[in-house]
Amino acid sequence: MGLLNRHRTPPVAHSLRVLAALLSYPDAAHRAWLDEFPALLDGEAALSIARREELKTFIRRLSAMDALAVEADYVQLFDGGRATSLHLFEHVHGDSRDRGPAMVDLVQTYEQNGLMLAPHELPDFLPVILEFASTRPAEGARAFLGEFTHLLQSVFSALVKRESAYASVLGALIELGGGRAEPVAFTEDAPLDDTWEEPPVFGGCSTVGQAKPGQPQPIHLIKKPVSPGARP
């Protein structure tokens, strides 16, 4: 029995739930638990000592920051572009029709394991994925998380480039999934001005009788027809 215990996968449920909370919108309810997180991480010891210390530094920073600043930083970081989106299927399918079936499959996975999504939640939202993983046995949770490693690496890389402390949370998830957190190539977000720029109407006024901007505009003189009986 002792030999079996030595080879059991260490538990990860508490660590996953702490990381899920750190990646959720930092409202007052979530921030109220910040002081509890270091003890939960240390008690489980699922992460390396270096990673846990990094997370503790991040937690202390969140605790010390103004509440409105924390919330604004979160929104700007995770809602401001696809590269750092926490909706993981955006990194695979974008806005294509393929995202729908993938979401349905994930919902069915949750439901088959007795879990139901809240009405306002999307199944590919990373904190939701982590909450589900935390309900699985440790080995299964790590394997499930490992399936998303390539997506987590992409988000991690974008956060590193933005010098965001949230990168430590993604690094911890990659570690739990059996990967190694290191920057990889990722698709940059288009500049905001380009995203909102409207295309030229009619291809830049290239309809018959008009030229594109910057070119001479031809003038056509048309003789007005004279109605019968009208005086010249």
The answer to whether residue 146 sits within a structural domain is yes
Q: Answer yes or no: is pLDDT of 17 > 90.
A: yes
Range of the domain at 23: 2-190
CATH number for position 152:
1.10.3480
The answer to whether residue 148 sits within a structural domain is yes
212 confidence band (pLDDT: 50, 70, 90): very low
The answer to whether residue 163 sits within a structural domain is yes
The answer to whether residue 160 sits within a structural domain is yes
68 confidence band (pLDDT: 50, 70, 90): very high
pLDDT tens digit sequence for 105-160: 888 988 998 888 888 888 989 999 999 999 999 999 999 999 999 999 999 999 99
Interatomic CA distance for residues 112 and 44, integer angstroms: 28
Average pLDDT on 165-172 reads 96
The answer to whether residue 60 sits within a structural domain is yes
> Please, where are the H alpha helices in the chain?
2-6, 13-22, 28-31, 37-44, 49-64, 67-78, 90-93, 99-112, 126-133, 138-146, 149-161, 167-176, 192-196, 202-205
Which residue, 197, 168, 181, 187, is CA-closest to 84? 187
The answer to whether residue 69 sits within a structural domain is yes
* The total number of structural domains that make up the chain: 1
User: DSSP readout, 186-210?
Assistant: -PPPPPHHHHHPPPPTHHHH-STT-
Q: Answer yes or no: is pLDDT of 34 > 90.
A: yes
The answer to whether residue 195 sits within a structural domain is no
Q: From the CA atom positions of the chain, what is the Rg in Å?
A: 27
The answer to whether residue 201 sits within a structural domain is no
Identify the pLDDT of residue 8: 64
Average pLDDT on 191-216 reads 44
